[in-house]
Chain A
């Protein structure tokens, strides 16, 4: 990857991490209070983030032939199948138990939220078991 792309990725990650922190999503207590209908603020986070991204994903490919530093735009490939839906249900169950999703599990470390190291390790273990028990699609 070119240095310009790599730097862009790190800057994007930093903006993401700043946003997760500013929105208090790195605090599992806040996420759990949303899931228990005590504070609906998470909907503003998801809504405003998705809205900005929606404009970018829909408009940018029409305005630019290619991204600034790479050759083409990638697309989010979600598939309508059993794994997508069952996996989402399981992800929700786990998320509701700990109040941490993958982004905050990583970003929380920058805010010295050390207990999230447990979640980070557990998520890595969960992803490993998923990879070990799932057959690679024929290439």
Chain B
């Protein structure tokens, strides 16, 4: 047990059960609507409401922007249900500069790559897409490097 305790000091049940919920969510979306539910596209498709730039007016954003927003609203609703059932509110102590700089680069990169941890990680892997597998390996590796660098710079 000591190796398992060392690898997972907080236990594994919350990770396993939470992951199953996410898998059931993406599967439910697919069974009912046939849609593939990654999370980063909403960050681009929502700009089509405000910007007339040709890039944002592509059909793949115009035709999906409504359900993607509803999906995002569902995310917040699900977290609320968690707070009022088994969880409790939580505020991160990660510094504002990490949240701002990291968020900007992650947003830019996820959209350039056309996928994030859920798009490439869950939907892409489950679709047996080689580009997604490579993307997952690359972003896990680069994230480990940047998380280490940030700590040496005094980050949380």
Contact = CB atoms under 8 A, between A and B. Distances in A.
A16 B122 CA distance: 12
A43 B45 CA distance: 29
Interface in A81-139: 81, 83-103, 105-116, 118-132, 134-137, 139
B108 A94 contact: yes
A113 B91 CA distance: 4
Contact of A97 (B24, B91, B98): B98
Contacts of B23: 19, 48-53, 56
Contacts of A32: 94, 147, 156
B interface secondary structure, majority = helix
B74 A119 contact: no
Contacts of B116: 91, 101-103
A63 to B, nearest CB: 10
B79 A108 contact: yes
B55 A84 contact: no
Given A20-B75, A60-B30, A128-B47, A110 B80 contact: yes
Nearest to A44: B15
A44 to B, nearest CB: 4
Interface in B52-82: 53-59, 66-67, 70-82
A11 to B, nearest CB: 7
17 contacts: A13-B78, A17-B77, A21-B87, A28-B92, A29-B94, A32-B94, A36-B151, A53-B126, A56-B31, A57-B127, A76-B36, A85-B131, A87-B114, A112-B90, A119-B102, A124-B43, A136-B57
Interface of A: 1, 4-6, 8-30, 32, 35-58, 60, 64, 66-76, 78-81, 83-103, 105-116, 118-132, 134-137, 139
